[in-house]
Chain A
Amino acid sequence: MIGTETPAHHGHVIPHMKHWIRQILFGAMVVTGLLLIARPAPALSFGEARHLLARTGFGLPAPAEISEIKGYDRATAVDHLLDTVRHGPLVSPPAWIEEHAPPAKQRKTWTHQAKQAFNKRNRERWRELQHWWTREMLETPSPLTERLVLFWHNHFTSSFDAVKWVPYLYAQNAQFRRHGMGDFKTLLRAMVTDPAMLFFLDGRRNRSKSPNENFARELLELFTLGEGRGYTERDIQEAARALSGWSVKPETSKPVLWPKHHDAGEKTIFGQRGYFGADDVVSIILRQPAVARHLAERFHAAFIGGQADAVTINAAAAAFRQSGYRIRTLIRSLLLSDAFWALENRGTMIKSPVDLVVGLGRLSGWQGEMKLLVNRMSGMGQKLLRPPNVKGWPGGLAWITSVSLTARGGFVYSMTKVLGRSGGSGGNMMANAMGNGMQAIMAGPKRAPAETAAIVLAVPPVRPVALDKLSPAAHLTALFRDPAFQMK
């Protein structure tokens, strides 16, 4: 039984790591040692280590990743994951992200053909950016980083449907990576005048003489307070006035405030009166206690799932607020909560399409085109950089419909077809593009069937298999194709 294995041998793991990781680990170990003297905290079991990595990554950690953190106690392991979050991409983004959008005046002179060519190139760039991001998810040494970027993409949504100039979508994605684990105030302030957001929710069309409330409404309803949490229609209208006049300067791709379109009059928001602008709106909103609560609930849904209990949410919200909105504090509180580790909460979340595809992609050491993976995600209902609406992907049970489940089954089938065959020969395009990760699971130390299941699945398989009749490869294939593989 894996859960009762002795703690990992650090000396075995460390020589394979980069120098700086080793240093951090060494520091962490010293701290762990000191903590152990004060109050011994038990090392993670295999199942706990897998759970932490599955929930903070893409649902399917590799055995080596599990071994790496297995010797730590909970706090050390969580801090290790939080401390190694990155703030920039590993994979170089496309060169065109530096380009500026052609100004409207220029575009008005274009022929029909020129417009069509422009639209076509934008679509290609959107796909290219999806491929770039997927590659980053596959290659990053910190899956949590990209999980956070995806979390924020699903929170401060923007879609290619409304943001046709793709460099704006990249810039927003970079903001999520830069500030995603930092200061929520900074992130929120950036989003209020973010170019992609100004397009997506019509902020650039919100002018003093003709207010457009779209962004102000979602700012309160989805991004900060939560639906129906203590704001009125009047607050929305007044916030829209305070946010009026912002647009994107095409020459710089930066937000700009046009004074002639800004409503400089007095506004009343949440009972406060003043000649408010964008910064004031952010400050006033952040004084509302509902914000910390709403964000705690959103992160709870992303990392713990299921019905949120008041104790966990209150503790996380209070810590978040007291820290001055440090996102790290909020996530740390949730990842160290009893609810996160409770046995009954493990293996209970349905993997998102990104989890399913990137998880298997990382495990297999995918060598093929990103296009193949991105197309599969789309078929399962998750088009990166194109969420269904401003509320993002609903997630949870909604991921599973007969259509999406068929697409999921097809993907897993393609990815596991190669198992039990020598090399990739005879496999399909997907199977041929896989590295040796799958074989590595099989070629590793000889394992009991239950141990193999504990690596591949978060919960025991629901389809009984006749183990005595199956080869190890066929058993592994059956595990990947079991409904339990949809869970993390």
Chain B
Amino acid sequence: MNWTWFHKLASPPHAYRIAAGLLPWFAWPAGALILFGLYGGLVLAPADYQQGDAFRIVYVHAPSAWLSMMVYATMAVAAGIGLVWRIKLAHAVAAASAPVGASFTFLALATGAIWGKPMWGTWWVWDARLTSELILLFLYAGIMALRASIDDRDRADRAAAVLALVGVVNLPIIHYSVYWWNTLHQPATLTKIGKPSMAADMLWPLLAMLLGFTLFYGAILLVRLRAEILRRERDAAWLTTGLAR
């Protein structure tokens, strides 16, 4: 198999340019899908027969919860690639992902708490889903703090990568917590795409928001990755000519 494309992609100057070219392909569809999802979720979708209009919180809660785990998985894969193949760009992807993932984990927890008050009668319970999601936020915070606390960049990358990989064990716990334990949190609505437990006019705005948030992460990752490349390659010769473009 020819891996030239992979090695080319892993080269910082090439990645810096590719990221700039890809950015509009993520940012504009993300904006359009989020606007469509907001209109569909807030205006077009009917009220839920049990939860009334409070169910509309799902249009920001579910996409942020999805991103909290998807970003972590991306970060862990990148960290693993960086550790095994010593590709610096992979560590840059992991470093660029952590603050984004942390922000969406916070959003998932906050919107979940606000949704919980009218539905469960409480802002917070120490149930398995909520607790494991809170641990995810602590993992993000720990990874960022660990990276910031080590001056040597290579050592910081390796330490953060090891912690990110150890934390992967939390992802299946979050996902399956609603099946393994008796939780207040409802089971997944969208895992059974063939037979989702949601009416179509409620489902499409949610799918638009899920895809919109995912593309949004892609766009933010590209911008943060470019910044990370600049910080890591500060003494590289290509920067002098590369930045002029």
Q: Are A and B associated in one complex?
A: no
Chain B residues proximal to chain A, CB less than 8 Å: none
Interface positions of A (Cβ within 8 A of B): none
